[in-house]
Structure 1
Amino acid sequence: MLHELTLEGHGVRLAPLAVEHAEALARFVDDRVWAGMTSPTPRGADGLRDVVEAALTTPARYAFAVLVDGEVVGSTSFYDVDLRMGRLEVGHTFYAPRVWGTHVNPACKRLLMSQAFETWGVARVAYRVEARNARSIAAVTKLGARPEGRLRGHRVAADGTRQDSLYFSVLADEWPDVRSRLDARLAGRDVADERTSVLLIGGRSGVGKSTVASAVHDLLVARDVPHAVVEGDVLDLAHPAPWEHGVAAANLADVWRRYRALGHRRLVYTNTVSVLEADALAAAVGDRPRVTSVLLTASDDTARERLGRREHGASYDAHVARSDAAAGRLEAAAADAVHRVATDDRSPAEIAAEVVALAGW
């Protein structure tokens, strides 16, 4: 789609993308820059010319070159523009690594959403991100876009695999707040960190993970601190056990998106081995969360006594065996940065207070 729309301000200029921009784009596009796209990484000026020509022949797409001081540093687009229905998407965005983390992306989003909401009067601006693209997810979340859901098997990645897409959006009545946050960032003012803060509580069976999580919940409720508690063990509690399919992480991602949409930013997550899987769980949460990992510990005698309150006979023996094995594995494999919190001869409320303090809540 050929267009003549030019947007300028906040130190950037969005000019209609043209074949003449291909050579400048080719100077910085590589696999790292192209990550998350659905097509193979274009190589050289010829490859970028093909990308530009494809953009220009796509209906309902306004493609732009991003310029700073006259230099091409990236590209972005409106696409699936339907002004009759009052909706569009922003995407096909990539920048030179040297401008990552600078004013460029917020400035571009400020210009694009101002055009969409204030000039065209749309009701909704959407962002679609591949579920594996943690950097883009973090950038969209930082804008203040609300998570909406996951479209399973929605896209074919450049490597040929089918991948999920995550949808985020900003609605017209949310735009003033998003605009204010963008203006604050562009002015260099501090903006409240909206990332998720995750408290992982792990430990052997019988150590009291669920009991401590419940006490953490009670403490935070008393302090009127918004939060959500998720018992990881029930996210893939099924037979046959679906561990190898990553069901727990996928379910966590779905559950947490719904809590995020309601405004929650603190997550308490319990699971025996959660402290060993912090990276995977952080990826499932999806916005570069701040993670505090706590490994609850207990002596063999304490664990056995607690297990004996709920298990009997063969079930008790099996749980003891698994608990003993997990204790050794967790202590050996948990990183030094994982906080060890002893639970022997301590009340749940006392342990909860220590755990919440470690999380800085």
Structure 2
Amino acid sequence: MTFADAPTLQHAAVRLERLDQSHREDLAAAVRPGELWRTWYTAIPSPEGMAADIDRRRAEHAAGRVAPWAVIDTSTGTAVGVTTYLNLDQTHRRLEIGSTWLARRAQGTAINPATKLLLLRRAFDELGCLAVEFRTHWHNHQSRAAIARLGAKQDGVLRSHRILPDGSVRDTVVFSILHAEWPAVRAGLVARLPPAEEWQ
């Protein structure tokens, strides 16, 4: 078992499947409402760029640098987003959950907490991680609030961290959850899911 493996992960609310081109049409449809790819502080592919983005993630996966999943809404069987393990550091037992986006209709539902429950459960309980990181743009207040709501602690801000395609410079906010904090984070996530949401 390596950090770059991407097995199917299942919960009643969501299924995470290894990303491939079979998800392209669903994902292209998922970004159209609200034209999510136009949000300046995120990197969400356009419908026309979805195939290339999937190929890029799959190439990174083949090289052992990431583990990419399509996020499947089990109520419809359709892909509504993407999430990834990246910055894999198996030696020091750390990884980042990132490069994540969800269709507008999936935001604010059980899909995101169930997804994080699956990913964190694998990271801590199966892979033995000591810490899991989350990183986001300083101006992505929605993402920062969602990460904090998980129970992650803010480690700091990497100022002038990255130059974005539009030429703007990103300050990156870094959060993490430690292994010792995982039981409380898990309890918080479970409490956010309807009682009927059982592991499958």
Report the CA distance between 1:33 and its aligned residue.
2.7
1:89 is aligned to 96
Listed as ranges, the gaps of 5+ residues in structure 1 are 189-361
Q: Distance in 2 between matches of 1:148 and 1:162?
A: 20
Report the CA distance between 1:11 and its aligned residue.
1.2
1:73 is aligned to 80
> Could you say what secondary structure the match of 2:45 adopts?
coil
Which of 118, 121, 133 aligns to 2:125? It is 118
Partner deviation per Cα, 1:21-46 (whole Å, 9 max, x = no partner):
111111121575343334xx5332x4
Report the CA distance between 1:4 and its aligned residue.
4.7
1:42 is aligned to 45
2:170 is aligned to 163
Listed as ranges, the gaps of 5+ residues in structure 2 are 196-200
User: Where do 1:175-254 residues align within 5 Å?
Assistant: 175-187=182-194
2:109 is aligned to 102
| 65 and 186 in structure 1: CA distance in 2 versus 1, 3 angstrom threshold | same
Matched, 1:60 2:75: no
Aligned AA for 2:66?
R
Aligned AA for 1:17?
L
1:25 is aligned to 27
> Could you say what secondary structure the match of 1:27 adopts?
helix
Q: Which ranges of 4 or more aligned residues in structure 1 deviate by more than 2 Å?
A: 1-4, 30-38, 41-44, 156-159
> Could you say what secondary structure the match of 1:121 adopts?
coil
User: Where do 1:307-346 residues align within 5 Å?
Assistant: none
**Is the CA contact (8 Å cut-off) linking 1:148 and 1:167 kept in structure 2?**
yes
Aligned AA for 1:23?
E
Q: Distance in 2 between matches of 1:123 and 1:148?
A: 15
Q: Identity rate of aligned residues, in percent?
A: 37
**Is the CA contact (8 Å cut-off) linking 1:33 and 1:95 kept in structure 2?**
no
**Is the CA contact (8 Å cut-off) linking 1:22 and 1:48 kept in structure 2?**
yes
| Structure of greater relative contact order (alpha carbons < 8 Å, 6+ residues apart) | 2
Aligned AA for 2:87?
D
Partner deviation per Cα, 1:262-291 (whole Å, 9 max, x = no partner):
xxxxxxxxxxxxxxxxxxxxxxxxxxxxxx
**Is the CA contact (8 Å cut-off) linking 1:127 and 1:140 kept in structure 2?**
yes
> Could you say what secondary structure the match of 1:102 adopts?
coil
Q: Distance in 1 between matches of 2:131 and 2:111?
A: 22
Structure possessing the higher radius of gyration over alpha carbons: 1
Q: Supply the RMSD in Å over aligned alpha carbons.
A: 1.9
> Could you say what secondary structure the match of 1:57 adopts?
helix
Q: Distance in 2 between matches of 1:175 and 1:2?
A: 21
> Could you say what secondary structure the match of 1:149 adopts?
strand
Q: Distance in 2 between matches of 1:116 and 1:84?
A: 14
1:51 is aligned to 53
| Structure with more strand by fraction | 2
1:130 is aligned to 137
> Could you say what secondary structure the match of 1:122 adopts?
coil
| 170 and 73 in structure 1: CA distance in 2 versus 1, 3 angstrom threshold | same
Count residues in correspondence: 185
**Is the CA contact (8 Å cut-off) linking 1:2 and 1:56 kept in structure 2?**
no
Aligned AA for 1:139?
A
Report the CA distance between 1:142 and its aligned residue.
0.5
Which of 7, 11, 19 aligns to 2:13? It is 11
Q: Distance in 1 between matches of 2:175 and 2:185?
A: 13
Aligned AA for 1:77?
T
| 26 and 2 in structure 1: CA distance in 2 versus 1, 3 angstrom threshold | farther
| Structure with more helix by fraction | 1
> Could you say what secondary structure the match of 2:69 adopts?
strand
